[in-house]
Amino acid sequence: MLHCNREIKEIDKSLLEVRPGNCLDVLPQIESSSVDLIITSPPYAEQRADKYNSIKESEYVDWFIPLGKELLRVLKPTGSFLLNIKAHCGKGERSLYVYELVIALKKACGFKFIDEYVWYKSALPRKWSHRLRDCWEPIFHFSKDKNYINHHELMIISESTFGSKRGYATFNAITGNVGGYHDICKQEPGKTLLENILYFPTALLVKDQYAHPAKFPFELIRCLVKGFCPKGGIVLDPFAGSGMTALAALTWECRSINIELSPKFAKMIRQRIDEFNPMTMRKRAEVQEETIDLFQE
C-alpha cells in the first residue's frame, strides 16, 4: 500500500470553491484553459440510483460528450484529466460502455489518451460468480496537449533501484516495485518512478466520518495531484461528492473547484475542509502492511 501523508501541514481553506449544481450548467462559468488538473469519478451507469442520479448505460456516452467538451475547454494545454470509472456486470458479462466512453472522449471531444492506470482497491465480499474477484478500477488519463508531470513527486522508495544500463531490473519485495534504468527522469538513489498500478486499498483508506457511497481514498488522489498538478495550480472535480479531491488539492496548496449536484454532499465538502486536522492524516500514514505468501500450501 502506498501513502504520502507524513508531510501534511495546515491548509489554506480560502482556496476552496464549492459550486453546487449540475456540472453541465456550472462548467460554462469556468474560464477556458484555466485548469491544471481535473480528477473525477462520475456517477457510473445503472449504479447507485438510490443515492444519486444514475444514467442508463445506453445513454451514457451521449450524456457525457457535451461534458467532455467543456472539460477539454477549461483545461490548460499542459493539463490532465483523470477519469475514474468502471463498468458494471449484468446478464453474465461486463458492460463495454466505459470503453465506448474512452473512445468518444478522444474522437468526439478531442482529448489525447495518455494511459490507463489500475487503481488496486481490494475486493469487496461478494457472491462468487464465473469470474475472479474484482479488486481494481481504471483511471483513464487524458490530456489536451503535452501534460505536466512531476517525476520527483511520483518517486517511491525502492531499496535497489537503478542499474547502469537498459534491460537491467531489480525487484523490491517490500514495495513490490521493479526498479531499473530510467532515462526519462532524473535518477534518485533508492527511489523509483511509481508504476501504473496504484495500490490504495479502499477498505483501509476511505474510513472517515463523511458518509458518501463512493469516496476516493485521500492518499490516491493526493498522489495524483502531486504528480500531475504544479503546486499552487487549479484542480477541478466536476462530480465532487464528499470532497476528497478538494482536500488533496488544498494539501498541495492548489485552488480547488468542486461542482456537486446534491446540496447534502456540497455541504459535506465545506464541512470536510472546515474540520480538517493535519494530525489525523499523519496518523493514517502509520497503517502498515504485512507481506505474506498468498499461495502457501
Q: What is the distance between the alpha carbons of residues 140 and 142, in angstroms, rounded to a whole number? A: 6
Would you say 110 or 263 has its CB closer to ligand SAM? 263
According to DSSP, the residues that pair with 112 across neighbouring strands are: 143
For the bound state, the minimum distance from the C-beta of residue 34 to ligand SAM, rounded and expressed in Å, comes to 19
For the bound state, the minimum distance from the C-beta of residue 95 to ligand SAM, rounded and expressed in Å, comes to 17
Strand spans (E) along the chain? 16-20, 35-40, 75-84, 89-90, 93-94, 112-120, 136-143, 155-157, 169-171, 178-180, 191-193, 197-199, 234-237, 255-260
Would you say 147 or 242 has its CB closer to ligand SAM? 242
Under the rule (CB under 6 A), what is the footprint of ligand SAM?
22-23, 41-43, 52-53, 212, 214-216, 239, 241-242, 244, 259-262, 265
Binning the chain into helix, strand and coil, the percentages to the nearest 5 are 30, 25, 50
Owner of C-alpha cell 459550486 = 19
Would you say 8 or 18 has its CB closer to ligand SAM? 18
For the bound state, the minimum distance from the C-beta of residue 255 to ligand SAM, rounded and expressed in Å, comes to 18
Would you say 47 or 170 has its CB closer to ligand SAM? 47
- 16-20 and 255-260 strand pairing: parallel
For the bound state, the minimum distance from the C-beta of residue 262 to ligand SAM, rounded and expressed in Å, comes to 4
For the bound state, the minimum distance from the C-beta of residue 82 to ligand SAM, rounded and expressed in Å, comes to 11
Strand, helix or coil for residue 134 = coil
Would you say 170 or 271 has its CB closer to ligand SAM? 271
